[in-house]
Structure 1
Amino acid sequence: MQNSIKTSMLILVAITISCNTMKSTPSEAKKQQDDSQVYFKANGTEPFWGLTISEKQIKLFTMQDTIVMPHQKPIQAMDSNVKLYKLKSDTDEMSVQIIQTECTNDMSGEKFPYTISIDYKKNKELVMHQLKGCGKYNTDYRLNDLWVLEKLNGKEMEKSFFKDNLPSLEIYSETNSFSGFAGCNGMSGQLFYEKELLRFTKIITTMMYCGDTNKEREFLKALNSATKYTIENNRLTLSNPSKELMVFKKID
């Protein structure tokens, strides 16, 4: 009887330990949530360092230092794609400049679309430390799906407006690319993505004749004009500063 009780107690303890191991601690859960909100990452060598930018914070970590600052909107250059974050607390100071120009990691040889320069000092130091490296934006994972056109320039779309079927997009956020059907011809291209910015670039199509009444040209013109997006209620809305251009419905 005693052996049976001991065995039962051991099983209960093992189950409890297993459950506790599987559960994330509050700090781990918070870290996972913060990581999922990161929209820009950068790193460098000599010395090794890393930078993450999320909706809530900008975090720099080196072999010696870690600096965490509340997120702020960057200063945007008027004539080029250059962003500057200027951050300051009671003890620390940091500026991060992001320039859209190709950058190659010195150790791995990997190429990135942005060059990063960082100046920082910690604990009221007198001298700034300087870092240089490469970075890229993390394309919104929610875009990674199959989308079919519902509206074009404010009008509900029907199959009869196109030669064969409604236009559709399949977006691959990992590779910043897309493929699909423009209503008559097949198409493919690249995505240019930054926070709150989405462009469809390098669009190529097959060359089938589609007739004068087909809305494929109007569709492709709108796709080329899109600069912003929203995702809500399984709908992808593409727009530019002038107007809403297209609404797609998620079907995958």
Structure 2
Amino acid sequence: MSNDNDKELNDYLQGNSELSQRYQPDKGSGPPAHLDKLILDAAKNEIKPPHMPRWTVPLSIAAVMVIGVGIVFNIYREQGQPLMTAPESTVATKARDVLKEQGEMENRQQIARPSAPAEPGRGTSAINRALPSLNMELADQAAPGRKRMIWEKQEKKTQTDDSQDKQDTDVAMLGATDTYNYDEKTVRSEKQPAMSADLALDPALAPVSVAEADQVTADIELPFKAMGNEPGWSLTISEDQIELVTSYGQEKLVTSTPEVITTEAGSRYLLSAEGQALEITIRDSRCRDSMSGMPYPRTVKVIMSDKTLSGCGGQSVSLLLGDEWIVEDIGNKGIIDFSRVTINFSEDGRIHGLAGCNQYSGSYQISGELLSVGLLISTRRACPEALMNQEAFFLELLQLATGFDFDEHGALIIKTKEGKTILIRR
């Protein structure tokens, strides 16, 4: 109710207004018509609720429904149950329970008899099929020097049912056309000469499965070259032929390259040349030349009918390539604590690294029995005097390098002509 209307009404009731004095004497006359309208309007404004839009009601109902559906969906999703499922018949439920009990009983029986597992691939679970190979791997880890299986010569099935599974083990001589079983794989050899008994009995040369071979040896890069001394001999294996030169070059054998046999220790070739059998064994172990002392990545043995040749093979530079080398000692004087000196050899004949304070780079070369390092260049950063002196001493010895070797712990030793060394590790 406005202030003007209130004042006018109060003045009239108290008889102070001109209007009340005008109509007061006349008892039969009432208040003017517009005064009633003012009073009614004021009363309506006092009791009338605030106006609300009609569209808010359906919107509120819709919001409540959406929230309710979301809550129900989250509950079913957490429980892993579908929102709507068709009723399952009693027969289907019983059949499902019976199949489940049969499967659990079969698994318990198979696990209870690990010594006689079911044949892989015939109704066994993935866990039961993996048990035989797992037991064999555990046996190998317990006795790493002993092969769990040897080549077996399988006889033809003849006469009775009892003789069908019989196998005759033959480790003295491996024939040229027999079938050998190992690690549940069958390999048929080609027309090749027999292998000597002493090599067949060597556990390190026993055949392994394809999966095991990939884990224990790397492929030989062809052409592969090897050599030995006393008497001097050389071997070259290419993709199409093998050439063996013996007796200081007086005798030469050339034959086609047979298929390589991958072994746990390396690789083996069985071949025949000029009427005699040859066995070439290439082991993945470092070898040191008996005359020069130069290290090589492979140990090679050639077994002939009348003699056995031993030597080294591969490229010496491959022993330097790969990850970064960390310097641990410089000239038998140690190295400053918390200083870092590194050497990297690359395939393109470059050498580079950190000398302790500055970066350096240059070239290197391996020829015959020598390791030579060319002129080294470095950045010109200033460091504490002790660190700069160590850096200068390191670069001096590195540039005077004439060879390298490995100690019994696998550390690389770079040597100078004066006998000073740099000891590095990966």
TM-score (norm 1): 0.49
Larger relative contact order (C-alpha < 8 A, sep ≥ 6)? 1
Q: Which one has a bigger Cα radius of gyration?
A: 2
More helix per residue: 1 or 2? 2
